[in-house]
Each structure stands twice: as structure tokens, then as C-alpha cells.
Structure 1
Amino acid sequence: MQILTLFVVALVALEHVGIAALEMFAQPDVQANAFDMPVNFVKTKEAQTALSNQGIYNGMFGVLIMMMILFFTGSTLKIILILMLLYIIVVAVYGAFTATKKILYLQGLPALIALIFVIIFYH
């Protein structure tokens, strides 16, 4: 079950890399649809700058999670993963209140499932 747990966590990490790509490189129409924003707003330079900034955070966080899986084991990894997954859940809850409720389901739910797996199955 530990390998399955790490696989689930890695999927959460890959999701964040994918979100980063969407935020940084997708066309404004795609971004507007994904983030429930008006397309005219998303096309502005300020919105594109903000999305790129958010994207680099998401991308680096996804890479960081994958690096932690590669470089740490045991109780150290378990604590790191719990903290990182809790971070994602808190950010998703905040995003659900301030941006779109989709964030809670698309980012928060996978992180919650991964957190449950880590707590129960990772030793």
C-alpha cells in the first residue's frame, strides 16, 4: 500500500505541474474557462502576469513534492507529505471561497484523498 500511496501523492504533484502549465502557457480562452473568469479580464497583461506568477508556484510545488518522494523515506517523508498535502487543502479551501468552488474539488479533494492514504497506509 505504500507504493500505491506514493503513486497517489505523485498524481497530486503532477496535477500541480499541469495546473502550472495551464496558468502559464494556455490560451486566454482556455484559462478563462478553467478558472471561471471573464475572457476579457484574462487577456489583460495584469491577469496574465498574475496567472504566470501563480503558475510558477503551483509548478514548483508539484516538483517539490516529487523531489521529496525521491529523496526522503520513512517518518521524515510522511511528515513532509502530510504538511504539503495540508497546505494544498488549505489553499483549495481559500480558493473555493475567493475564486471558484471548482478548486475545492479539483485540487482539494485529490489532496485530501492522498492525505488519508499517507496517514493510514504510509509507515
Structure 2
Amino acid sequence: MAIAAMIMAILVAVEHFFILWLEMFNADSEMAAKAFGVPRKLLKMPEVKTLFGNQGLYNGFLAVGILYSLWVVPAAASTGVTLFFLACVMVAAVYGSATASKSIIVVQGLPALIAFVLFLLV
């Protein structure tokens, strides 16, 4: 069970690194337009690119936090710190689902919830 929890948490981190890349370095692409349901013309605006870059940075912090909690934080605190970062992802997914796109709750929130539950069962 511990291995499954760790793998799932790593997958959540990888997903957020992908979101970082998409929002910070590929924000005006067709892929981003499709992923975020926003016209590509809008994504080419400098102000929008700046906002997406900022969002991407926060997604990167979540990813780094999860990996940090797994491999750097001492074992006694590792689970608690991992649960904290997974909870942050879930809160962000709920907010994003309520304000931006309903699919965020499934795409980002569900993997984080699965990892969270697996860590609780370890």
C-alpha cells in the first residue's frame, strides 16, 4: 500500500509539473487553448500569458512540495507533509472547478484524493 501511495503522489507531482510547463512555457499553444477552454487569441495576450505563468509557478510549487515531502522530509513527518500538499492540490481543484472548469475536479482533484486516501491507509 505504501508503494501505491508513493506512486500516486508522484503521478500528482508529475501532472503539476506538466501544468507548470503548459502554463509557463506553452500558454499560447493550441494544446493550452484546448486544455483550458480558452480561445488561442486570448492566450496570446501578454497580460494573460503573465497570469498563466503565475499559475504555472504555483503548480510547480505544489509538485516540488509533494516530491520534497517524499524524499527530503524526515520519515516521521513525511506523511503529514505529503498529506498537506495533496490537500492543497484538492483545495485548488475544488476552487478551479467552481470558478474555471468543472473538469478540474476530476483531472486534478481525483488523483490527489486517491493519493491522499492511500496515504491515510498506510
The answer to whether the superposition gives a TM-score over 0.5 is yes
Task: Output the amino acid matched with 1:14.
Answer: V
What TM-score do the two structures reach when normalised by structure 2? 0.92
Residue 11 of structure 2 aligns with which residue? 11
What TM-score do the two structures reach when normalised by structure 1? 0.91
**Cα offsets for 1:51-87 (capped at 9, x unmatched):** 0111111112202211221112444111111111111
Question: What pairs with 1:1-123 in structure 2 (closer than 5 Å)?
Answer: 1-26=1-26, 27-121=28-122
Structure-1 separation of matches of 2:96 and 2:14: 19
Task: Output the amino acid matched with 1:36.
Answer: G
**Cα offsets for 1:18-56 (capped at 9, x unmatched):** 110011122432211111112221111111000011111
Identity %: 37
What is the root-mean-square deviation in Å for CA atoms of aligned residues?
1.3
Structure-2 separation of matches of 1:104 and 1:70: 27
- Contact 2:79–2:119 (Cα < 8 Å) also in 1: yes
Structure 1 stretches of at least 4 aligned residues deviating more than 2 Å after TM superposition: 72-75
Where does structure 1 lack aligned partners over 5 or more consecutive residues?
A: none
Structure-2 separation of matches of 1:77 and 1:44: 41
Where does structure 2 lack aligned partners over 5 or more consecutive residues?
A: none
The count of corresponding residues between Structure 1 and Structure 2 is 121
Structure-2 separation of matches of 1:7 and 1:17: 15
Task: Output the amino acid matched with 1:9.
Answer: A
Task: Output the amino acid matched with 2:24.
Answer: M
SS of the aligned residue for 2:19 comes to helix
SS of the aligned residue for 1:96 comes to helix
